[in-house]
Chains A and B, each alone.
Chain A
Amino acid sequence: MKQSLVEIKNFKKYYSSKKSFLNRNVSYVKAVDGLNFTIYKGETLGLVGESGCGKSTTGRAILQLQPPTEGEVLYEGENLVGMNTKDLRRVRKEMQMVFQDPYASLDPRMTVGEIISEPLEIHKIASGKEKNIRVDELLDTVGLSSYHAKRYPHEFSGGQRQRVGIARALALNPKFIVADEPVSALDVSIQSQIVNLFQDLQERFDLTYLFIAHDLSVVKHISDRVAVMYLGRIVEMGDKKTLFSQPMHPYTQALLSAVPLPNPNVKKERIMLRGDVPSPSNPPNGCTFHTRCSQCMEICKTIQPEFKEVDGRMIACHLYN
């Protein structure tokens, strides 16, 4: 039986764009608009979608880096939204984040050793010699050597920096890691190393990942289940194999048809989406995808489709009612 680790309920994140303190007409950018999903223990949930669809916002809001506007985030049954600072600190030991940009996520004025030992310092877990031993151990875990601890981030390559970021996330022995596009800033050759490192670590430390990416091949490689996001909502979510082989939602179909095939002789039908993604500050009524959907019906323009189970996967589309 799969045990749920993180449960997200009716999760919304709106950004207000206030003009000035005299102008009270507040307009909202609906970055994430009503998410419901569960992450099970030991699995990797891939979160895909195009730029600006709210993937990163979701990841950050789960960790309460940007508290959500509405909704609940249950971590092992505890609601993190609105939790007091002390309890949040305790929970944060168990959930960590690996960031997208390995150049921005490490403080340039600290040595790698200082960066990795920072979580130990914050939670007063280890100090002095013990701390150095732990740092060496972590460096070793992510495939770096102990002499790297004395160096500064600018002396490392992108891939190595990302390893440092991973080591920092692992320092507190977390159970859950949000990886926010951890490989998209890296060279393709390095990407596979880091993805493999993620998989290797998952096996060793029994980790659960929320793996955010826009590269479908990476997501396909690492995930157990995949959720596809479009304009702040999940449109389809299911087992990796079935979702990739038989996408049901028109958006997923279009997205998957864009993946290039290694064999240039195979002709495949590319579903072209017309138009741009609508602005999240003024999303279309009904199904947010109806403006670009090839199978749009009347009902799609007025009624927002429910996110419900169809054939063993979750989908939000009127075609499957």
Chain B
Amino acid sequence: MQIIEDVVSQKEVAAPAYEPRSPWKMMIQRFKKNKRAMIGLYITSLFVIVAIFAPWISPYDPFEYNMKALLQAPSLSHPFGTDQFGRDVLSRIIHGSRISLMIGIVGVGISIIVGVTLGTIAGYFGGILDSIIMRIMDILLAFPGFLLALAIISILGPSMVNVMIAIGIFSIPTFARIMRSSVISIKYKEFIEATKSLGGSHLFIIIKHVIPNCIAPIIVLSTMRIATAILTAAGLSFLGLGAQPPSPEWGAMLNEGREYIRAASHLSTIPGLIIMLVVLGFNMLGDGLRDALDPQMKI
């Protein structure tokens, strides 16, 4: 009996001291080797930490007027200077990071939940359902993102919550399309068929196999989309449609500082630079994640 010999020969090998390498672990290893991705990670982590601990690390109250120190240039006591009401710009930037992070997470969260659900349904079930969902997504995609956000804000009225909703809605079609295409690429795989033959329901297959195998591009896209969300929110606030003064939202600060650009250029340049830095950080992180996840796409 050859089979018994085979069994024996395979069993004789004792379990080697060796960690199983999950696809995620391999991805992290690849990510760590990528310097640019790590810089992106540092920038975004710094941003997140600052946002979380804002009340404890900001040196001044971001809303407190100080008539003795109006429009001061950056100095030791006010590293980013002060604005037209004497408020400390650094403190406002620190508090503003909370707003931006919140817009990024909530806005993108809305679009992930709705977009991934719609994309999964469209890709997995196909047919008429797919056509209907994707045509609606095409209609949304036909508008330039910022314009769509503007239109939604003009319907809902200018406020922070509405900015999040608007940003959430305009990102939905991108998530739905990406998800749909990954689902289609995976749904004819034999391991899906294997689960079907075991008697697994559609919901079981979607949760256990389809989503875990399609989530990588969604992670990449969401980091990139957080950057877009922050940028769009700043743009909307700059136009006076998002955060309302005295909120320390970066776009709103940029707008307020615009009037004093000759007297105190730091009022508009610093928020601008910070927006740029954070957006750059998220994009670098997204690129790095994409590169780290890509070899995994061979499945």
Contacts and interface: CB of A to CB of B under 8 A. Distances in A.
B23 interface: yes
Given A104-B190, A104-B191, A143-B7, A96 B197 contact: yes
Given A123-B199, A152-B20, A97 B194 contact: yes
A302 interface: no
**Most B CB within 10 A of own CB, among A105, A165, A192:** A105
Contacts of A55: none
A271 B209 CA distance: 47
Contacts of A100: 190
Contact of A111 (B20, B190, B199, B299): B20
Nearest to A95: B197
The main secondary structure of chain B at its interface with chain A is helix
A82 to B, nearest CB: 17
Nearest to A120: B198
A109 B194 CA distance: 15
B189 interface: yes
B144 interface: no
A88 B21 CA distance: 37
A295 B20 CA distance: 60
Interface in B1-37: 1-3, 6-7, 10-11, 13, 15, 20-23
Contacts of B6: 143, 193, 196-197
Contact of A107 (B1, B3, B11, B191): B191
B50 to A, nearest CB: 34
B200 A122 contact: yes
Interface string A77-107: 0000000010011001100110111001111
A65 B205 CA distance: 14
Nearest to B26: A154
Nearest to A97: B197
A22 to B, nearest CB: 13
Contacts of B208: 107, 110, 118
Contacts of B3: 143, 193, 196-197, 199-200
Interface in B196-223: 196-201, 204, 208-209, 212-213
Contacts of A85: 201
A154 B3 CA distance: 24
A71 interface: no
A186 interface: no
A154 B204 CA distance: 23
A119 interface: yes
Interface string A142-179: 01110100111011000000000100100010000000
B198 A96 contact: yes
Contacts of B198: 92, 96, 118-119, 122-123, 168, 172
**Most A CB within 10 A of own CB, among B15, B190, B204:** B190
A254 to B, nearest CB: 31
B262 to A, nearest CB: 58
Given A152-B23, A155-B20, A65 B193 contact: yes
Q: How large is the interface on A (under 10, 10 to 19, 20 to 34, 35 or more residues)?
A: 35 or more
A278 interface: no
Contacts of B84: none
Nearest to B196: A65
B117 interface: no
A147 B194 contact: no
B197 A101 contact: no
B195 interface: yes
Interface string A178-207: 000000000000001100110110000000
Interface in A118-144: 118-119, 122-123, 143-144
A93 B200 contact: no
Given A105-B191, A143-B7, A89 B199 contact: yes
A118 B200 contact: yes
A155 B209 contact: no
Contacts of A89: 199
A147 B15 CA distance: 6
Contacts of B7: 143
Contact of A193 (B2, B20, B189, B200): B2
B2 to A, nearest CB: 5
A63 interface: yes
Interface in A214-272: none
A31 to B, nearest CB: 16
B282 to A, nearest CB: 25
A143 B197 contact: no
Contacts of B191: 104-107
B192 to A, nearest CB: 8
Interface string A265-285: 000000000000000000000
Contacts of A154: 21, 23
Contact of B10 (A88, A97, A109, A144): A144
Given A143-B3, A193-B3, A196-B2, A104 B189 contact: yes
A200 B209 contact: no
B11 A145 contact: yes
A101 B208 CA distance: 20
25 contacts: A92-B198, A92-B199, A93-B199, A99-B190, A99-B193, A99-B194, A104-B189, A105-B191, A106-B191, A107-B209, A108-B296, A110-B208, A110-B212, A118-B195, A119-B198, A122-B204, A145-B11, A147-B15, A165-B194, A168-B194, A168-B198, A172-B198, A196-B1, A196-B6, A200-B1
Closest 3 CB pairs of A and B: A147-B15, A105-B190, A143-B7
Given A106-B191, A122-B204, A192-B2, 9 more contacts: A65-B196, A97-B193, A99-B190, A123-B198, A150-B20, A155-B21, A168-B198, A193-B3, A200-B3
